[in-house]
Structure 1
Amino acid sequence: MGVADRLDLTLRLVQGSDRVSVSELSQRLGVSEMTVRRDLDVLERQELVRRVHGGAVATKAREEGAGFVAREAWQSATKDRLGARVAAMVEPGSRVLLDAGTTTVHVAEHLAARRPLTVAVLSLQAAMCLADRPGIDLLVVGGRSRPGERSLVGPLALRTLESLAFDCFVMSIGGAHAEHGWSEFSLEDAAVKQAGLAQSARTIAVADATKLGVRAFSQVAPLGAVDSFVTDTGAEDSETHPNGPHTLKALRTAGVPVLLA
């Protein structure tokens, strides 16, 4: 796993818990405790985590959106390839629900070429990306902007989604696990994704290879709940992503077509 991949996943694991230990991070990431400590030092210098005895906790910087801003630049080339591949799967004229996340911002950039589209967005970044684009009828789902992520969540978001129907849901995800399915680090994000799944005729899940084999805090759905999964080619490399091949096999066994970008 590359450094940027590790930092991304380390930050999400810390933010998904009140406190996480160095030993737990070492086990989850498959690296030495010394490497974990170095990575935590990097994140602490960026004011994204705070080191405590034996581990780390998230800092208040996440409440100002620093978590998203820091991750946005990591693996941007990979995420742009994923965004282009997903957008190419969306038929012009569709009603699309676009999830929150750093990868789906890249999807939004490429969706403009698939116009005309009606696109409902679950993040402030995607809304800014698609605003005023010719041929894009933009709907911003109501709700509360979740601190650190700028994803739209809560009862208002859920009620809005329950009143709409979509041809396609582009779902980003925190973790894809062979036994435990799709999962998210936040209960609120998980609830919104469950509503999106229920209101959409088709769901395309998208995530980079660092999410494979990860079991985040809140389960969203079994692997077979989506219609296709788009990830990067690194997912097939067991040396850089030890859980990748096993998770891809589980997805295919569940009847989910896997597309590599």
Structure 2
Amino acid sequence: MLAFERKDKILSEIKKNKKVHVSQLAKIFNVSEETIRRDLDKLEKEGIVDRSYGGATLSQHTNEDLPYATRNVINVEEKKNIATKTTSLIKTGDSLIADTSSTVFEALNLLVREKENLTIITNSITAVDLLSKFKVHLILTGGTLRTKSNSLIGSDAANTISRYFVDYAIISCKGLSMENGITDSNEPEAEIKNHMLKRANKVILVADSSKFDKNAFIKIVDISEIDYLITDQEPTHDWQQFLKEKNVTLIY
């Protein structure tokens, strides 16, 4: 088994069991404990796991501004689940504005395959690499490149966004709470997301269940400012009632 394959399987074990032990992983993959320790050290440096004595747990640092490559391998199945639900809202010919999150990327990846004649505005360099392969009307915001997230930020990006009106904004977040609304870990990115939702007729928030009842560093907007919340599993009764009171359509 190659190292990257073992890494993916270690992540699956951590997600399933919440914690892994070096000795158990060594037996599962038939490698030395030292090899597993090196694997876990690499995952810790990428911000994916927290090391503990004899093992590791999945990182839950809501305020940590993780690189895109790291975010892209966390909760992958949940993100794909959300993406399939997002496509039901979008029609052929719709115009969209999309942020740089890995969950939104999964939604775009499906949309460009299922819908025709879409117009997509984005500040995501990663998404542009995908979208350029399909027949879409693609508009890149321009702006200052933030390499950690492969995103374009700043006044130039905001000015471009302000020129357009779209059918839907699709954004994600790091935290979602009844008291503090929708929050993110990085201020410049949060500002761009705020500009995006102001230019949309309808706002779609995509957020997996790990984001609920969490607060990140900077507020994006109140929950009442979104129209749809798409997640991967049924929220609590309190959340369902709260969203109903805020006139937010819940899809799970």
Q: TM-score, normalised by structure 1?
A: 0.71
2:99–2:123 CA contact under 8 A, matched in 1: yes
Please name the residue that 2:78 is paired with: 78
Deviations 1:106-139 (A, max 9, x none): 11111111111111112111111111302x1111
Q: Which amino acid aligns with 1:212?
A: F
Please name the residue that 2:247 is paired with: 255
Q: Would you say how many aligned residue pairs link Structure 1 and Structure 2?
A: 206
2:171–2:193 CA contact under 8 A, matched in 1: yes
Q: 1:163, CA displacement in angstroms? A: 1.2
Please name the residue that 1:199 is paired with: 199
What RMSD over aligned residues (CA atoms) do the two structures have, in Å?
2.7
Higher Rg: 2
Secondary structure of the structure 1 residue equivalent to 2:200: coil
2:240 and 2:189 map into 1 onto residues whose CA distance is 24
2:101–2:171 CA contact under 8 A, matched in 1: no
1:178–1:246 CA contact under 8 A, matched in 2: no
Residues 1:200 and 1:6: Cα distance change in structure 2 (over 3 Å): farther
2:72–2:102 CA contact under 8 A, matched in 1: yes
Please name the residue that 2:225 is paired with: 225
2:187 and 2:215 map into 1 onto residues whose CA distance is 13
Please name the residue that 1:144 is paired with: 144
2:210 and 2:169 map into 1 onto residues whose CA distance is 22
Secondary structure of the structure 2 residue equivalent to 1:193: helix
Matched, 1:110 2:102: no
Q: 1:185, CA displacement in angstroms? A: 0.8
Please name the residue that 1:47 is paired with: 45
Bigger drift between 249-258 and 182-191 goes to 249-258
1:88–1:114 CA contact under 8 A, matched in 2: no
1:5–1:74 CA contact under 8 A, matched in 2: no
2:40 and 2:67 map into 1 onto residues whose CA distance is 14
Q: Which amino acid aligns with 2:245?
A: T
1:164 and 1:74 map into 2 onto residues whose CA distance is 32
User: How does 1:156-175 map onto structure 2 within 5 Å?
Assistant: 156-175=156-175
1:120–1:138 CA contact under 8 A, matched in 2: yes
1:171 and 1:224 map into 2 onto residues whose CA distance is 15
1:99–1:123 CA contact under 8 A, matched in 2: yes
Q: Which amino acid aligns with 1:144?
A: T
1:87–1:111 CA contact under 8 A, matched in 2: yes
Which segments of structure 1 move beyond 6 Å, counting only runs of 4 or more?
A: none
Listed as ranges, the gaps of 5+ residues in structure 2 are: 1-12, 19-38, 51-58
Deviations 1:5-46 (A, max 9, x none): 999xxxxxxxxxxxxxxxxxxxxxxxxxxxxxxxxx947654
Q: 1:145, CA displacement in angstroms? A: 2.5
Q: 1:75, CA displacement in angstroms? A: 2.0
Q: 1:245, CA displacement in angstroms? A: 4.9
1:229–1:256 CA contact under 8 A, matched in 2: yes
1:176–1:214 CA contact under 8 A, matched in 2: yes
Q: Which amino acid aligns with 1:127?
A: V
Matched, 1:127 2:128: yes
Secondary structure of the structure 2 residue equivalent to 1:168: strand
Q: Which amino acid aligns with 2:118?
A: L
Give percent identity, aligned residues only: 20
